[in-house]
Structure formats: C-alpha cells, structure tokens
C-alpha cells in the first residue's frame, strides 16, 4: 500500500508498498562472519502492528486543531489521521479525540508561549482482549472539560477501559510527566504474553508489537533450554517480562532492575499471576553481580540500545553462567558486546533476528552464548 505520510513523519525508513526484511539478516551476517545467522523471522501481516501509539497536538496554518507526529529531527508537526503501522482502533481513538477536542474548543499546548493544555495522547491497545488505555497529557495543571471529553470518547469507543490524565509542564521531548491521576477506570489494562498476564499502566514498559514480542521471548526461553534445577538471573529485567515467562521452566528466577517503578510493576505482575519462584531486586545490575555470591546457571540480558559496558561483561562472565541469552535492539552494540564475551570464554551458538518493527531499519535479535568447557 502507499503511505501518504512516507518521508514526511520519518517513522518508517522503507516504503509500505513492499515488505522484505531480508536485508536485516544481511546486516547481522556482516557482524558474525563465521556464524550461522538464521533468516529473520518476518511478520505474516506487517501492518498495524504498533499497539502503543503516541500523538502530539498543535494547529495547522488555518488554526485548526490537528494531531500527529513530529517530522524526524524537527519541530514540524505532521498531521496523521490513519497510520498504516499503528493499531487501527488506536488510530480511530486519536481521530475521535482530535475531533471532539476541537468541538469543545480545547486548546493545544504551546510550549514556547506556555498556553493551552492538550499536549500529547498515548493510546495502548491490549492484543489479548482489545481493551484500551488512554493517557491524556496536559501541559497545564488541568485539562478543561476533561470529564465531558472522557464521556464522549467512551461513548464512541466502549473498549476504553482506563483514562489517565498526565501532567507534563517541562520543556522536554519526553511525552509523559511524573504527575498523573485517573479520570476513569482502574488506571491500567491487562495484556497476555506467553501465557502470562501483565498489567500495563501509563509508565509501564511493554513492547509495542505483541505478536513479535511473543516470538522473541519464546525464542529466548527456548534457546536458554531451562531445566527445573536452573537458577536464572534476568539482568536489566525492566517490568519482569522475561523473568516471569522463564519462571515456568526454571527452578528460580531473579530479576534485577535499577528503575523502582519497573520493579514495582514486576512484583505486581508476579502476584497477579500467582508466581512464587521469582524475586525482583531494585539495584544497579553491575553492582549486584559484583557483590552477589550466588551462582546462576543462565543469564538473560536485554539492555537498552547502548548495550552494556566492558566492566558489566566482565562481572557477568565472572559468575560463570553456562548459558547467556542476549536480547538486543541494536546490532552494532550487540556485535561489540558478544565479541567481548567471546574473549572471556564464551562461544556463539545461534543468532536469531526478528522483525519487531517492519518498514523501519530496526531489528531485534536473540543470541545464545554458551561457556566453553
């Protein structure tokens, strides 16, 4: 299909009229010249895969309220009404929100003049039950007419189960602020991944593509070849997704994460699923590994795009896990880090890429390393 916004918003690097992610496999093969890199796992339907959607509000040249995304590397707002990679119901909610806010004369937030209120919207759609979490981001302490706005939105979209007002008055490109209160519902929705239920609140980290996320984590756990006697460490565990999924196959799993809110989400999801063979620690992972005397047979590692430091790699290798499963969203730092593990006595067994973000240059990869004996 043809995308009317292609090369305007900058979200997609490849045109939507063809889908062939094979070159992402080639990108990884360059970094692992002596290894067998599996062909990338592609999506059966690469459209409307984003179940987490953000929009920014502004005005066009005629003064009409619009919503969309900033053009790449600019502050130019591109009006987007029907994005082909975003969930269709999320697109519909944003259209209704923009239309209704305009009818109610709710002004968009102007960061330069510090006027208006409606700054961003964040829509999360559960792949499991289609429930919707809507977060309205205001640049002021209040959002005028919020009760009536929520009433109209829920009338048009009954699947909206929670609406949260988030306050963000800072001069920043970060969408969400720290202060929020619930306008409707419990403040979260539930999604299911690999048989585990996860509560998703506005600040929770949860992957945007549920179909490929399930494949990615299934692959990670399968490659780990977990046994009931395995003691597992999930470094950089975030909200505990891999930790909880792995717990179904291992004896015990420990997740370590420096973000307190993420750790709280992980503990909540463990209780929600009645999982008792896990524990979550709020700590710097490298410090935890250096101080901890416990041995782990399997290490899961899912770091940010920047990867991990050389000292982190040394600390993790010093624990002598038999298997390391490295999940990465950045081939460049992945290749760098894996080569350092090879110098410390590990070998690469498998490299499994997944097309988490079709029509973009991004690729997710799972690498299995095992300790040389």
Band of residue 373 on the pLDDT scale cut at 50, 70, 90: confident
Specify the 3-state DSSP secondary structure of 256: strand
pLDDT at 161: 98
pLDDT at 73 over 80: no
Using the CB atoms, write b or e for 238-267: b if 16+ within 10 Å.
bbbbbbbbbbebbebbbbbbebeebbbbbb
Burial category of 33 from C-beta neighbours within 10 Å (exposed 0-12, middle 13-18, buried 19 and up): exposed
User: Max alpha carbon distance in the chain (Å)?
Assistant: 70
- Residues 6 or more apart whose CB falls under 8 angstroms from that of 132 comprise 89, 90, 93, 123, 124, 125, 126, 157, 159, 160, 161, 162, 189
Neighbouring C-beta atoms of residue 175, cutoff 10 Å: 17
Mean pLDDT of all residues in 132-159:
97
Cα distance between residue 30 and residue 112, in whole Å: 46
Half-sphere exposure of 354 (CA within 13 A, CB side): 20
The 10s digit of each residue's pLDDT in 326-348 is 999 999 999 999 999 999 999 99
220-262 residue pLDDT tens: 999 999 999 999 999 999 999 999 999 999 999 999 999 998 9
Using CA atoms, how far apart are residues 213 and 194, in angstroms rounded to an integer?
9
Quick one: pLDDT at residue 3? 85
For range 28-37, the mean pLDDT: 80
Q: What does the pLDDT read at residue 31?
A: 83
Structure tokens at 152: 């109209």
E-strand stretches of 107-188: 118-125, 132-138, 160-167, 179-184
Can you give the pLDDT at residue 90?
A: 98
Helix axes 331-343, 310-318, angle to 10 degrees: 50
- How far apart CA 49 and CA 45 sit, in angstroms, is 8
- Looking at residue 294, what is its pLDDT? 85
What is the Cα 24 distance to its own chain's centre?
20
Instruction: Encode pLDDT of 297-311 as tens digits.
Output: 999 999 999 999 999
Domains and CATH numbers, the chain: 22-46+209-371 (3.40.50.150), 52-195 (2.40.50.1070)
Residue of 74 and 166 predicted with greater confidence: 166
pLDDT at 25: 86
pLDDT for position 261: 87
Q: Which residues are catalytic?
A: 329
Q: What is the mean pLDDT of residues 76-89?
A: 94
From residue 202, how far is each of 27, 155, 189, 206 by CA, in Å?
34, 22, 9, 10
Taking the C-alpha atoms of residue 107 and residue 86, their distance in angstroms, rounded to an integer, is 25
pLDDT score recorded for residue 13: 84
pLDDT score, position 130: 97
User: How many angstroms separate the CA atoms of 300 and 8, rounded?
Assistant: 38
The whole-number pLDDT of residue 205 equals 87
């Amino acid at each position: 299909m043809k995308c009317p916004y292609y090369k305007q918003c900058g979200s997609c690097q490849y045109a939507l009229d063809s889908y062939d992610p094979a070159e992402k496999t080639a990108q990884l093969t360059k970094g692992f010249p002596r290894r067998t890199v599996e062909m990338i796992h592609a999506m059966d339907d690469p459209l409307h895969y984003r179940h987490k959607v953000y929009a920014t509000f502004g005005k066009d040249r005629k003064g009409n309220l619009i919503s969309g995304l900033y053009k790449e590397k600019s502050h130019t707002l591109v009006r987007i009404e029907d994005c082909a990679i975003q969930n269709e119901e999320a697109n519909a909610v944003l259209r209704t929100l923009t239309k209704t806010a305009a009818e109610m004369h709710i002004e968009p937030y102007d960061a330069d003049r510090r006027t208006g209120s409606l700054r961003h919207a964040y829509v999360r759609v559960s792949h499991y039950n289609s429930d919707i979490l809507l977060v309205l981001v205001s640049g002021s302490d209040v959002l005028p007419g919020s009760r009536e706005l929520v009433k109209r939105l829920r009338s048009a979209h009954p699947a909206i189960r929670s609406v949260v007002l988030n306050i963000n008055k800072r001069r920043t490109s970060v969408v969400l602020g720290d202060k929020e209160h619930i306008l409707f519902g419990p403040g979260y929705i539930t999604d299911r991944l690999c048989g585990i239920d996860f509560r998703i609140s506005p600040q929770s980290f949860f992957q945007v593509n549920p179909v490929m996320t399930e494949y990615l984590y299934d692959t990670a756990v399968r490659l780990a070849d977990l046994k009931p006697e395995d003691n597992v460490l999930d470094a950089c565990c975030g909200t505990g997704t891999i930790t909880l999924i792995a717990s179904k196959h291992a004896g015990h799993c420990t997740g370590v994460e420096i973000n307190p809110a993420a750790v709280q989400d992980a503990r909540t999801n463990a209780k929600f699923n009645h999982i008792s063979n896990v524990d979550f620690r709020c700590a710097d992972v490298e410090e935890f590994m250096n101080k901890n005397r416990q041995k782990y047979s399997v290490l899961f590692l899912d770091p940010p795009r920047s990867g991990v430091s050389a000292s982190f790699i040394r600390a993790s290798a010093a624990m002598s896990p038999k298997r390391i499963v490295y999940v990465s969203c950045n081939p460049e730092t992945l290749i760098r880090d894996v080569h350092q593990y090879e110098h410390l006595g590990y070998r690469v067994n498998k490299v499994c890429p997944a097309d988490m973000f079709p029509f973009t240059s991004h690729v997710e990869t799972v690498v299995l390393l095992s300790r040389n004996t």
